[in-house]
Structure 1
Amino acid sequence: MMNQNDSQSNFKAPLPTGEGWGERLLKQYWGYDNFRGIQEDIITSIGEGKDTLGLMPTGGGKSITFQVPALAQEGLCLVITPLIALMKDQVQNLKKRGIKALAIYSGMSRQEIVTTLENCIFGNFKFLYISPERLSTEIFRTKLQKMKISMITVDESHCISQWGYDFRPSYLKIAEIRELLPGVPVLALTATATPEVVKDIQSRLHFRKENVFRMSFERKNLAYIVRNTENKTEELLHILHRMPGSAIIYVRNRRRTKEIAELLHNEDITADFYHAGLDDATKDIRQQRWQTGESRVIVATNAFGMGIDKPDVRIVIHMDLPDSIEAYFQEAGRAGRDGQKAYAVILYAKSDKTTLHKRIPDTFPEKEYIKEVYEHLQYYYQMAMGDGQDCVREFNIEDFCRKFKYFPVPVDSALKILTQAGYLEYTDEQDNASRLLFTIRRDELYKLREMGEDMDKLIQNVLRSYTGLFTDYAFINEDSIAVRTGLTRRQIYEQLIHLAKLHIVSYIPRKKTPYIIYTRERVEMRHLQIPPSVYEERKERYEKRINAMLDYVTNETVCRSRMLLRYFGEKNEHNCGICDTCIKLKNKSTAKNVSTAELATKVLHALAGKAMTPATLAEQLSADKEALAEVLHELLDEGQVIAVNGMLQIRK
């Protein structure tokens, strides 16, 4: 833990003095007159050099809370986020406003990364967006110490907590970065954190003092609905035909995204599908089509939506249950960010309960199974005992599963548990750009002139655009070459493959692949330890999250908004009035009032003829005794009916 006094005295980027500087910046760059909610409180806190945690719902304006104070101070704001889409989007938006910003993410060449880091040292830039995985690289740490950092922003900060629903081990490196930057304050931001995760975030980020600002997570314009149905596609079509406006449909796996999008096309509903397996160009095109309204619906896995700012989404539909309230709340919260009425709908069938419970053994396979996966990994890479430390290997999960007769889902989970136990690092798919190397000498290029106009155009363009192609592999971008040459991406790919077959170039096409990085030497299977904090405790918390999700969808009596808020530790005493349970309770109450009024009329009509005992009256009206007693009680209180010697009669 850092010493508070030392850290504060090292802070060299105070906010401007005088009132109204924040509003002036807000007006100058964003065109707004006033801050919203807790934005100003967070800005003041981080500007005073205090470590700060901001809890703000999706659409609450998180980016303003670090962009305004960073602009007001000297130096660079380091923004750590796992979301490449958000990085690109925010860098683009800042540049449009005349603010200098850069980002480092997977797919960039080493030279591009070095250039970006050098620009951060000498180029008077205000923001550097970076993924947490990059923090541990030697090149980043070396360059970081030469930068003038004003503040560190940690977006999606719940990822640092092992108690959270989306723990990422790479986030734990942030504390080490703080040691390299004494006195620089940290602003942690999240839209989903339970009370225990809130405490854990501050502890793991080495907060000098607990300091939390909370904005209510209540969304008054968002109606939460659960539809019980055994025919989800029929219900989906019914909703989309009945409700206008832009929509997101979340499904569990990649195959389903395509199936549902095709189903919608057949119903004349414009739709695209989106998942992590698509290349970046396809993702960008589909996202753009949806954001401009060319596609009404995007059907996606949970890979979609983070950092996407489309305020007029009218409906978010979940066809499969997420495995936590946190994930659901974040995805549902993408509806109605413009403040207009919107809907978050879950389509729930009884079989979903079994499906959700099955995720527990899939996510936490038996320890013996995990050890076997580890052992087979050594056979796969032919790794000798004691070898392996710092080795990096591409990992093809389909090939591995085929060789050792495994199913991919539990293998994926086993590797994640081995990552958290410290034996290896299993990365998500890394997007590796294409690489090209000429294997003939430059003075032999004349031989290629006979290969046609398109080939000549391609080679000339490549040679003009990239350097060092005759000595080492260069990262190339086929999309950029396509724009410059007028050829299609497919033509470029086929021509480069043709040159490779002729041994003129060595061409490694772009591919997405996960990696296994050994963080320690190979150990014997019997010595492999998976501690309770990594397995039993996390499994128990996972089961609790699943049960909370099931409680939410099977509940029929409690306001859904109140249930969600209570989960995040927010006390809310009023019902939302617009979720399906609130509407159901309102209708029941109205129906009860109608039936009570009808019964009162019948009682008065019966007693108009003669006085009766309550028992005779109940028999004559064939009324429920409790309902009749309630009506009689009201009529007696109001004085319309009186009791004389045990007989009921109308007051004259």
Structure 2
Amino acid sequence: MEQALRETLKGYFGFDHFRPLQSEIIQAAVEGKDVLALMPTGGGKSLCYQIPGLYKKGLCLVISPLIALMTDQVQQLRKKNITAFAIHTGMSRKEVVNVLKTATHSNCKFLYVSPERLETNLFKEFLPALGVNFIAVDEAHCISQWGYDFRPPYLRIARLREELPGVPVIALTASATPRVQEDICEKLSGEGENRFTVFRQSFERSNLSYSIFKVASRITKITEVLKNVQGSAIIYCKTRKHTKELKDLLLMEGIAADYYNAGLPAEERNRKQQDWIRNKTRVIVCTNAFGMGIDKPDVRVVIHADVPDCLENYYQEAGRAGRDGEKSYAVLLYNENDLTALEQLPEQRFPSMETIRQVYGSVVHYLQLPEGEVPGEYYDFDLKDFIKKFGLDITTAIYSLKALEQDGWLSFNEQVFVPATVRFTAYKESLYEYEASHADSEPLIKTLLRTYEGIYDYPIGISESYVAYLMKTEAALVKEQLFRLHADGIIDYQPRKEDPQLMLTRTRIRIAELQINMKNYTARKRLFTERVTQMKNYIAENYQCRSKMIGNYFGDIEIKDCGVCDNCLKRRNNQLTRESFETIRLRIRDTLTEPCTIPQLMTQLQGTDKDHVWTVINFLTREEKIQMQEDGKICWKK
């Protein structure tokens, strides 16, 4: 079996060997065991379900919350001649039916599904015919309400297992504390016994140096870092506004930079991302909307211009540096205002019940939904327009929506990007006749057929701008012709969709009657406060190895000091040599000819490293060479 798995790896993905722990995880999955795989960012999680999915007969159902990542994975698999589809938020019923029918009647190996789709009647209707033999749960920490990114739709996966008895599960995550790991296994075991085998890759990144700097001027320190560390860089900011401001400042310093956030049009985001990946742009300044699923191994430095709210986010984002194994840097900048802002986060992130009711009322009025409206329909939801019309604070609105979502009242997806799709529906004979009578459409038809493999078999994601580039024409003209081909029954064309989506998941009730589970809500707030405290402790720590702190946080207690973080380097530089020890010992002995207080001793030894002095004092005390008198002074024992 091991040889066959390596052949699958080589044949489809071009790799000769598995990365550390991949082989063990894959073999356990192929043997039918339930598996939880904890692998750091860039550790190769996707192959851990893709290889078993290809090796086993039937279809692998992949559950993922990230639409952009789903669509990217599907395109990458198709390029390798592997049949894959995706069903997610924002797709019409007709599109979902087409995908499910095609997946059922083809040699489909991977079907990516957003968790919201799992319990729809439509999906349940097709489920028995899909031939599912393996379930992969990506971003598995989302199933735990004790995690940092709890998403209630993930709880439906346990019920899915009841529909597919005996089908093994592999759960994958890069960041889960021991408590969350345990919760993932329990939730995914359903009512049965927890039979999960847990694999955890070491959190050690020997090539990645973590550093923290307290700064008065962020741009000054960022410029200094970028001038000292050559190569590709990511700078993370908390707000969209800050990304553009920082990009402008870097350009003024002569550094090739661009900015990226979820507020930009999808095609502009894609262009910026590609320019950075191809090293046309050296530095990308972004919010945390950037980075998921991006495989760029040669990032030399990741800088956090603002403090993240938890170690989970920081670890994932910082971990995008140095995936090629070369020396890289993760730099975090802060000032006292950042620490104050961290302390205030729990109150901001967990609004009062009164505020949550107000936002719920605003939502149902904005969508004009009457009492008794049944759940299940997605609505375009313009967050900026919503806030403006109801005079809401954006932070309050977003976290009230989050609270409603986590209690199961609605589903809100702010970052929806569904690419345009095309599928040819006319038979080839009809197509020839159409081209003969519509000569102006022939260049577009031929470009689509030459560029997008499989466009006759299933809807293929296309870029109208790329097609326009190939045809040396305008994107607006391409869209116009696509609509005409659609109207004439030659193709099925679905334009791209970027509007945020909101769906009620419970029947619309009177606003005054709205309740949420306050016990769970309060517990989540308490755990969030603990995560904020851990982040503050990480920043304040100036002795312990930073890599070790992160590893311990995620349950890796065997991790060793990295030797390359700021704290490890400081300790190494301050290491007390035998010669220095003896010099300090003699100075202490000579100074203590008369008893004195420790502050007086320190004054006498001014110019000597204080940490080294304390080390020697502690040693001499243990050896009973010096002793403390009743008046608080110390003296040398003769």
Give the TM interval when normalised to the shorter protein.
0.7 to 0.9
Match among 157, 162, 165 for residue 145 of structure 2? 162
Contact preservation (8 Å) 2:35, 2:198: yes
Shift of 1:402: 2.2
1:470-549 aligned within 5 A: 478-479=464-465, 482-483=468-469, 486-489=472-475, 512-549=498-535
Q: 2:31 — aligned with what?
A: 48
Match of 2:167 in 1: 184
Equivalent AA in structure 1 for residue 12 of structure 2: Y
Secondary structure in 1 matching 2:397: helix
SS in 1 for 2:43: coil
Give the Å deviation of 1:623: 4.6
Alignment of 1:52-91 (within 5 A): 52-91=35-74
The answer to whether the 8 Å contact 2:89/2:501 transfers is no
Instruction: Normalising by structure 1, report the TM-score.
Output: 0.79
Following the alignment from structure 1 to structure 2, what is the Cα–Cα distance between the partners of residues 511 and 24? 39
Conserved 8 A contact 2:67-2:88 = yes
Partner SS state of residue 575, structure 2 = helix
Look up the match of 1:137.
Answer: 120
- Structure whose alpha-carbon radius of gyration is higher: 1
Distance 1:402 1:456 in 2: 49
* Offset of residue 481 of structure 1: 6.2
Aligned equivalents of 1:37 and 1:260: distance in 2?
Answer: 38
Q: After superposition, what is the alpha-carbon deviation per residue over 1:151-203, rounded to whole angstroms, capped at 9, x for unaligned?
A: 01111111111111111222222223222222111100111011111111112
The answer for the alignment partner of 1:229 in structure 2 is 215
| Matched residue, 1:404 | 390
- 2:427 match: none
Alignment of 1:346-385 (within 5 A): 346-385=332-371
When residues 530 and 103 of structure 1 are mapped into structure 2, their CA distance, relative to the original with a 3 A threshold, is closer
Partner of 2:402: 416
Aligned 1:46-445 pairs, distance under 5 A: 46-105=29-88, 111-206=94-189, 208=193, 209-387=195-373, 389-390=375-376, 392-431=378-417
Report the 3-state secondary structure (helix = DSSP H, G, I; strand = E; otherwise coil) of the residue aligned with 1:20.
helix
Q: Is the 8 A contact 2:142 2:150 kept in 1?
A: yes
Instruction: Write the letter of the residue equivalent to 1:180.
Output: E
Shift of 1:488: 2.0
Instruction: Kindly state the Cα deviation for residue 412 of structure 1 after the two structures are TM-superposed.
Output: 1.3
User: CA separation in 2, counterparts of 1:367 and 1:600?
Assistant: 63
AA in 2 matched with 1:305: G
* CA displacement at 1:337 relative to structure 2: 1.0
> Which stretch has the larger CA shift, 207-216 or 40-49?
207-216
Matched residue SS, 2:574 = helix
Q: Which residue of 1 aligns with 2:546?
A: 560
Structure 1 residue 226, shift from structure 2 partner: 0.5
CA contact (8 A) 2:417 2:497 kept: yes
C-alpha distance in 2 between matches for 1:496 and 1:70 = 36
Q: Distance in 2 between matches of 1:327 and 1:124?
A: 38
Residue segments in structure 1 that go unaligned for 5+ positions in a row? 1-17, 437-454, 467-474, 498-506, 607-611, 638-645
Change (3 A) 1:52 1:281: same
* 1:616 shift after superposition: 11
Query: Could you say what the CA RMSD is over the residues aligned between the two structures, in angstroms?
Result: 3.9
Say whether the 8 Å CA contact 2:261–2:286 is kept in structure 1: yes
Q: Which runs of 5+ in 2 are unaligned?
A: 423-437, 450-460, 484-492, 624-634
Structure 1 residues 493 and 584: alpha-carbon distance in aligned structure 2, compared to 1, 3 A threshold: same
Match 2:573 to one of 580, 587, 600: 587
Q: Secondary structure of the equivalent of 2:291? A: coil
Letter paired with 2:56: Q
Please give the secondary structure, in 2, of the residue aligned with 1:431.
coil
Equivalent-residue separation in structure 2 for 1:126 and 1:613 (angstroms): 79
Aligned residue identity for 1:211: T
What is the CA–CA distance in structure 1 between the aligned matches of 2:89 and 2:105, rounded to whole Å? 23
Could you tell me whether the CA contact under 8 Å between 2:6 and 2:17 is conserved in 1? yes
Q: Is the 8 A contact 2:38 2:200 kept in 1?
A: yes
Give the Cα–Cα distance (whole angstroms) in 2 for the partners of residues 565 and 552 of structure 1. 12
- SS of 2:145's partner is coil
Q: Show CA shifts across 1:602-637 (max 9, x none).
A: 899x9xxxxx99449999x95589959959999xx9
Pairing of 1:559-638 with structure 2 (within 5 A): 559-572=545-558, 574-590=560-576, 595-596=580-581, 598-599=583-584, 614-615=593-594, 622-623=604-605, 630=616
Instruction: Determine the C-alpha separation between the residues in 1 that align with 2:308 and 2:378.
Output: 33
Distance 1:631 1:280, change over 3 A: closer
More deviation in 328-337 or 42-51?
42-51
Report the secondary structure of 2:129's partner residue: coil
Query: What SS is found at the alignment partner of 1:393?
Result: strand
In 2, Cα distance between equivalents of 1:633 and 1:478:
73
Counterpart code for 2:300: R
Following the alignment from structure 1 to structure 2, what is the Cα–Cα distance between the partners of residues 70 and 477? Answer: 29
TM-superposed CA distance for 1:93, in Å, is: 3.6
Q: Distance in 2 between matches of 1:400 and 1:595?
A: 67
Q: Aligned partners of 2:637, 2:346: CA distance in 1, in Å?
A: 63
**TM-score using structure 2 length:** 0.81
Identity %: 43
Rounded to whole Å, the distance in 2 between the matches of 1:632 and 1:398 is 61
SS in 1 for 2:322: coil
Q: Which amino acid aligns with 2:500?
A: P
Bigger Cα displacement from structure 2, 301-310 vs 93-102 = 93-102
Amino acid paired to 2:242: R
SS in 2 for 1:345: strand
CA distance in 1, matches of 2:181, 2:618: 54
Secondary structure in 2 aligned to 1:307? coil
Whether the 8 Å contact between 2:543 and 2:571 is mirrored in structure 1 is yes
SS of the aligned residue for 1:512 comes to: coil
Quote the residue 1:11 is aligned against. Answer: none
SS of residue in 2 equivalent to 1:521: coil
Aligned residues: 579
Q: Distance in 2 between matches of 1:585 and 1:476?
A: 54
Say if 1:22 and 1:68, in contact at 8 Å, map to a contact too: yes
Distance, in Å, in 2 between the alignment partners of 1:383 and 1:91 is: 36
Following the alignment from structure 1 to structure 2, what is the Cα–Cα distance between the partners of residues 597 and 346?
A: 38
CA distance in 2, matches of 1:520, 1:201: 25
Name the CA distance, whole Å, in 1 between partners of 2:617 and 2:336.
39
State the SS of the aligned residue for 1:223: strand
Write the letter of the residue equivalent to 1:68: I
